[in-house]
Amino acid sequence: MNILMVTNTYAPHVGGVARSVHGFTEEFRRRGHRVLVVAPMFDGAAESDADVIRVRAIQNFNGSDFSVVLATPKHVLRAVAAFAPDIVHSHHPFLLGATAVRLARTQRVPLVFTHHTLYEHYTHYVPGDSDTLKRFVVRLSTNYANLSGEVFAPSKSIADLLQNRQVKVPIQVVPTGVDLADFEGGSGDGLRIAVGIPLGATVVGHVGRLAEEKNPRFLAQAMAGFLAAQPNSYALVVGDGSAREDMAVEFWRAGALDRVRFAGTLQASLLVSAYKAMDVFAFASTSETQGMVLTEAMAAGVPVVAIDASGVRDVVRDRVNGRLVPGANLAAFVEALTWVTSGSRNARSLAAGARRSAEQFSTKHSADRALARYRALAGRPLEATSELNWRRTARLIRAEWDIISATMGAASRALQRRPQEG
């Protein structure tokens, strides 16, 4: 098949969506499919990536890790037409998401949309953040989903949420897979030595973007509380972001800053080694649709302690591969970290459970699901491809109108406050 991926984030950007798109792309190519990726330009990106079309964008919008895409140039339209996709797969409802709708309509092929993100948790990056804006974002992403032929939800809990939000098109649960072979290597001891953590210490770790929507203060307080109660313990934080200093302050307040290692952003074998250096993985975000780092930690045999939330509860099974903590209860979170690391029997049992859980989220299984849905959609009867130019223009106008209608519909519903919301 010829598969067109349209995404607002892609390598070298480091983040869940970028890694998801890259992982699926590489797996599809290994199986002999052609994949063309349309993505923004990022600093550090190769000037000539094979089968990647870059679109100009404003980087780090309003202090975030995200980019704002500028107008789609004509060379993208020409390249996509020459590629002749069988399916268009959009990974965002905004920015290049609009381009994905246009491309699917003009090429007369099905559109698939993966609802990677709970966008209402990211409105703080936009000036004028408010409850009204959050309602608008929810409605806009829902309306966008209804423009597609099918929606992929990364987890069952997100699929249920989308149905409750009145997504009318079929929804399929297709998690982002983890390549288990990547976690056969790496050296936890080597990473510990490199960052100055004693080999005999207990390590509580975290991997992810250090940003407000990830609940970083609670995470730091919980990790610091664990360090304060366990003298022979260290914290390993992998990733970077605007909340790093706030987290460091929390460790300082607990008198444990000297036992924290901020390793920055790691990739490939270094990232695997970081996971393997951990005894327990701490996760406090309540804004996830799946939480790829959870399955990655489990692939490395590391049990997880996390707040019970959508996306998370689909991966973490209490006392099987980690612990689920009900709500942002700091004492309960610290107790769960202590329980996981308190005995060798717990550690061995949970590590084995983590590895078994990771197998259920393998790249192979996820790619199988996605390709099966692509084939089912691509097999539907489509219009004939040869038409006069005015018919092509009419389709483009209809695509634009659908996008505008989705936007305006979202705005009108969000601005009509219901009595119970007041």
Q: Domain with 134 in it: what CATH number?
A: 3.40.50.2000
**Whether residues 274 and 381 fall in one domain:** no
pLDDT at site 389: 44
Q: What is the mean pLDDT of residues 325-348?
A: 92
Burial tier of 264 (Cβ tally within 10 Å: 0-12, 13-18, 19+): exposed
pLDDT at site 46: 57
**Whether residues 335 and 370 fall in one domain:** no
User: Does an H or E element contain 89, and which?
Assistant: strand 87-90
Rounded Cα–Cα distance for residues 252 and 46 (Å): 40
Domain boundary among 313, 345, 360: 360
Q: pLDDT tens for residues 59-73?
A: 544 444 444 455 567
Rounded Cα–Cα distance for residues 172 and 369 (Å): 9
Total structural domains in the chain?
A: 2
95 — pLDDT class (breaks 50, 70, 90):
confident
**Whether residues 367 and 336 fall in one domain:** no
Tell me the pTM.
0.76
pLDDT at site 93: 84
pLDDT at site 125: 46
Containing domain of residue 25, as a range?
2-177+363-421
The residue among 64 and 48 whose pLDDT is bigger is 48
**Whether residues 287 and 198 fall in one domain:** yes
Q: pLDDT tens for residues 203-238?
A: 999 999 898 888 999 999 999 999 999 999 999 999
**Whether residues 408 and 316 fall in one domain:** no
**Whether residues 220 and 148 fall in one domain:** no
Rounded Cα–Cα distance for residues 298 and 338 (Å): 18
What residues contact 231, with CB distance under 8 A and at least 6 apart?
A: none
Instruction: Say whether pLDDT at 135 is over 80.
Output: no
Q: What is the mean pLDDT of residues 340-367?
A: 91
Among the residue ranges 37-51, 305-319, 363-377, the one predicted with the least confidence is 37-51
Instruction: Say whether pLDDT at 407 is over 70.
Output: no
Rounded Cα–Cα distance for residues 54 and 88 (Å): 16
405 — pLDDT class (breaks 50, 70, 90):
low
Outline where 110-153 has alpha helix (H): 131-145
12 — pLDDT class (breaks 50, 70, 90):
low
